[in-house]
Structure 1
């Protein structure tokens, strides 16, 4: 199929013949009609009455040098947005070691390039109690499709039986099979010292025998490729491999083990690297790496401020079997977490009692029959209680999911989604699970206007949910981007229309709430650039910001939070100067987003106790750390007309 359109000879002759003017007029009529319709639409959406009912969209002006492929977006406690591309799903950037991060200041309208030490493309992120952003995982290798594989490859388990020192093998180390085939490692690998244990035994008289020493080899995996092209290096048999360059005792203590090396498709591979992004210094700070390499992981904050890293593709491109780990921001180190399997980028929400709710929503990799069932996971006991009632349960990949506001209601919603992998199926289903019930089940919500994958959903200060974008088909195939937006109201259970965006968003897109109450949208990575799927797509680098209807009403008058504390304890209160305090209806703490691949487990909205007196408002924070995990939040006050204040940043300890 050609990648461009070429007119047929019949069309050429018609255009050049005597009836050319008639044909051209006919061809131009639809364009003229479209132009008139566009002008009328622009007039309609620009009217104050329209904006006051539906809101409005504005493009963000981005200097060319700061345009990037937004794979991840996170709001920092400074009010700036960290936009992380890494290699940006561009293999040429990966090969060149060109990794990108841009810091956007929505208030000043400025952009800044941030030095990016690793390829964080498709890593994970979560806010830490001090306002830093933990970023972990990313890309070690791009996938190689089956018909492009030239060298047999697979995972090599490197063993070290030396209890006295670790073993470090550099990228390019050669492993030789018993048959003489040679394989080259694609990454550096360090194998810890072997474990030495002393065994004590006694004879029949009770006297202690001389101690015996038992050594248990340590191991790490590394991806290897055959030196020679072709299938001759393929093997499905377990074997021990010699390591070139090691001699004598060192050669006896170290060796490789591989069970299967094939010409199959080679998936993306993850990295172990972890960093904290400092929002004040505006730089990445390295911390201890994870034990497991992870690509497409979810990082979710726990009620004590630690962060759980779950799932991902490992260092040889296989989905992790369930080896999760926990980061402690006080020690800057990782420890072993509860063992449980999830597909990649699972949506996990912290609920009362410290349990994590998995609504089944995920993005990407994993078999269709494993880890797809929703349920409540208790990480302490490592128990999992299934939650049923969900229709279209086989269409949860690329679904949106969120904890509905306020968090005290303990309701989690899923919206849309599609079939596993490159399926063209999508669903309009929404559903809500009430976790306060003894036996929670999903109950059907209102249908979306059409089947939708990659829908971005954002919690708003007035307790509504703003949803926008998505596509009907996988990665927008068939020009299926959905230029629609809507609000969901948990109080009424209804969807209402919002102004239509002008930029389509599907895979690799994000949306998040800004401190001024607007919503910013980024990214999109369409597979194709035309309806016939004959032209490759390009990454969408334009940004749009949505202004909700409330900010178009009342001549721009909105509550203003004046002087007051920047920190408050759980169970404690804080008082703020507020002019017109008698008109304040609600107070919310809103945790800033860290979103990628339709997955945003960070955002939550917490209802605060509210007392008013002339010129002042006093708010009270709930005591439960599972409702209000430690960290920085946006404090929004909303008046009786539904108009929110600009947020004040408050730290909850």
Structure 2
């Protein structure tokens, strides 16, 4: 776009926009700009959440001038020559810095500035979910002024399909521009009695179905230490693909909306998986055979085991497991080793071996090296690591009835003892329920949600059970019911300390349940009426937390054998409450147990925590946990006190979030614990 075109468009727009400003008073809402006073500096010396941008051929400098309009800093651009193009200080185009917007809403944008050239405009880009970042418009021409002057303009209505914008001030003529104290306010009238202008999104959040589909059936999903998502299908519950040896895996890159396909060495359909301490993913077992047409055998479990490396997007084989494993559990221990229980063996019978992966030796121990109880734990038994190193079997499982007895127990690997746990409601109707260790992990409370029974195919139930594992004799206590009865339920720990439950079905591979809710552990209540995923999510579906604080959902495999390849992303209500806090500095990413780690932030924060990235399938991720980081606060310098107990936070990579006083979480920074 030429300078002449830019000026002509800007002049037309500014007349229209100034006219639009006259009848409507601006709503005094939250400033949506991150680091609006440009005081927090990044490692490159430029303000956090801002970048030096532009194009063309000029002799120019970027820098900081002192003092600013307020505070120490203002951003400064000087063009000594300007034959073509422009230079601008712009907000960074990333989820942490770019303000979230609502289609159809209008926003007032303002900045304080001085400029020695009339060739100065406010420039805006928008993020189109189908096409990425695109130029939107130049909003206004800024008159020459030697004294600090505030310019405020109103955007046109945000186009459909836009979820974020960035903007800044551009100079394209010889001169010097200084800017400071940016602000952005949603001027769409809020609902009566509220302070948020995003309508239902303020309390319900918003789902967005991605404008592309997955290239593979996302039956197994793992959030990797680099923020990408591993989607493993194997044969994808497709006997024809199995017969053809067509096994698939893809890595989804949320930052670009693209996929990398990965050669897949075996049928990893219905395997187990867990992150190792170094961030690689251990894949155990899978599908050796589909049921025979003559009924001579059912599903058979593989003994194969692989490690997926996100640095190379490739699998490498480790030694075989000691028994076939189809639908096995996978729990990482406080020493970084992995224990796997249950599943079906190579002969279709239940696997009773305790299988133990020694991480330091990168191998599965032999049967006589691992402690054995020869107990069958069912299929995908939810085995949650307790603070004393024992495993809690919550009663969540798949395929039919629960185990004999109480349906729940505590297992001590070291002594081989199994202690029944009382109180689980309707243990034989907890098929495809989900259990999670509630925030914070230090409280040692587990909730089990929903479930059904695919053998009897009764209606799914809305039951929840809560247990305090710190008690000397833990007992399940009935919790508040789910707002809607469901099996195939997904439960995701959020950085604000709540649990988002979504997806599900009323019957075996049928009758999707779209209702979603938010569980508040502090109040022990479900908040009904959250926004609902428009895509059905029943059998072979998953939902998981992304590092930017959103939730992604994949998969649906109804009884007719089809598979829904659409991906959905949920923005929780907290993303509509104002600007995100910023983590400005962080220590080296290797954090020791019992240490205090000092970070700096751009303003007051309420809490900080580590959230273990998910590895989920079939309503099961027993390793999901939210670890509180008690804070020592000195202004914007925060000391984070790391637990000394690796059973609370097993070694590995975690997402570090801070939550601002407005309840909005930062984008996660990755840290390595152990």
Q: TM-score, normalised by structure 1?
A: 0.71
State whether structure 2 residue 106 is matched by structure 1 residue 106.
Answer: no
State whether structure 2 residue 667 is matched by structure 1 residue 646.
Answer: yes
State whether structure 2 residue 399 is matched by structure 1 residue 364.
Answer: yes
State whether structure 2 residue 578 is matched by structure 1 residue 428.
Answer: no
**How far is the alpha carbon of 1:458 from its aligned partner?**
0.3
**How far is the alpha carbon of 1:319 from its aligned partner?**
1.2
State whether structure 2 residue 497 is matched by structure 1 residue 499.
Answer: no
Name the counterpart of 1:567: 590
Name the counterpart of 1:629: 650
Specify which structure has the higher proportion of strand.
Answer: 2
Judge conservation of contact 2:596–2:642 (CA < 8 Å) in 1: yes
* Larger relative contact order (Cα-Cα within 8 Å, sequence gap ≥ 6): 1
Q: 1:160-212 CA deviation, whole Å, 9 max, x = no partner?
A: xxxxxxxxxxxxxxxxxxxxxxxxxxxxxxxxxxxxxxxxxxxxxxxxxxxxx
Name the counterpart of 2:245: 97
In the TM superposition, 1:33-72 aligns within 5 A as: 48-62=198-212, 66-72=214-220
Secondary structure, aligned partner of 1:285 = strand
Query: Cα 1:642–1:265, aligned 2, differ >3 Å: closer, same or farther?
Result: farther
State whether structure 2 residue 332 is matched by structure 1 residue 305.
Answer: no
Q: 1:106-125 CA deviation, whole Å, 9 max, x = no partner?
A: 12211110111111000000
Question: Which of 286, 294, 297 does residue 266 from structure 1 map onto?
Answer: 297
In the TM superposition, 1:86-165 aligns within 5 A as: 86-144=234-292, 148-149=293-294
Q: 1:248-267 CA deviation, whole Å, 9 max, x = no partner?
A: xxxxxxxxxxxxxxxx4521
Alpha-carbon separation, structure 2, partners of 1:523 and 1:369: 28
State whether structure 2 residue 355 is matched by structure 1 residue 350.
Answer: no
Q: 1:342-382 CA deviation, whole Å, 9 max, x = no partner?
A: 011000100011010111110126x6553762111111111
In the TM superposition, 1:226-625 aligns within 5 A as: 264=295, 266-320=297-351, 322-335=352-365, 336-339=370-373, 340-364=375-399, 368=402, 370=404, 373-419=407-453, 421=455, 423-476=457-510, 480-497=511-528, 498-527=530-559, 536-554=560-578, 556-580=579-603, 583-625=604-646
Secondary structure, aligned partner of 2:377 = coil
Judge conservation of contact 1:300–1:601 (CA < 8 Å) in 2: yes
| Structure 2 stretches lacking a partner, 5+ long | 1-159, 161-187
Alpha-carbon separation, structure 2, partners of 1:511 and 1:562: 30
Alpha-carbon separation, structure 1, partners of 2:402 and 2:332: 27
Alpha-carbon separation, structure 2, partners of 1:646 and 1:389: 39
Alpha-carbon separation, structure 1, partners of 2:402 and 2:255: 44
Alpha-carbon separation, structure 1, partners of 2:206 and 2:481: 24
Judge conservation of contact 2:284–2:303 (CA < 8 Å) in 1: yes
**How far is the alpha carbon of 1:448 from its aligned partner?**
1.2
Alpha-carbon separation, structure 2, partners of 1:369 and 1:601: 18
Secondary structure, aligned partner of 1:589 = strand
**How far is the alpha carbon of 1:61 from its aligned partner?**
2.8
Judge conservation of contact 2:581–2:601 (CA < 8 Å) in 1: no
Judge conservation of contact 1:570–1:628 (CA < 8 Å) in 2: no
Secondary structure, aligned partner of 1:462 = coil
Judge conservation of contact 1:509–1:596 (CA < 8 Å) in 2: yes
Secondary structure, aligned partner of 1:551 = helix
**How far is the alpha carbon of 1:613 from its aligned partner?**
1.9
Secondary structure, aligned partner of 2:203 = helix
Secondary structure, aligned partner of 2:585 = coil
Secondary structure, aligned partner of 2:505 = coil
Alpha-carbon separation, structure 2, partners of 1:363 and 1:110: 32
Q: 1:125-178 CA deviation, whole Å, 9 max, x = no partner?
A: 01101111000100111113xxx31xxxxxxxxxxxxxxxxxxxxxxxxxxxxx
**How far is the alpha carbon of 1:79 from its aligned partner?**
0.5
Alpha-carbon separation, structure 2, partners of 1:111 and 1:517: 21
Secondary structure, aligned partner of 1:394 = helix
| Structure 1 stretches lacking a partner, 5+ long | 1-38, 150-263, 528-535
Alpha-carbon separation, structure 2, partners of 1:310 and 1:447: 30
Judge conservation of contact 2:580–2:660 (CA < 8 Å) in 1: no
Alpha-carbon separation, structure 1, partners of 2:364 and 2:283: 13
Moved beyond 6 Å, runs of 4+? 43-47
Judge conservation of contact 1:307–1:328 (CA < 8 Å) in 2: yes
Alpha-carbon separation, structure 1, partners of 2:212 and 2:456: 32
**How far is the alpha carbon of 1:446 from its aligned partner?**
1.1
**How far is the alpha carbon of 1:283 from its aligned partner?**
0.7
**How far is the alpha carbon of 1:422 from its aligned partner?**
5.4
Count of aligned positions: 477
Alpha-carbon separation, structure 2, partners of 1:301 and 1:406: 18
Alpha-carbon separation, structure 1, partners of 2:618 and 2:378: 13
**How far is the alpha carbon of 1:58 from its aligned partner?**
0.8
Specify which structure has the higher proportion of helix.
Answer: 1
Query: Cα 1:541–1:422, aligned 2, differ >3 Å: closer, same or farther?
Result: farther
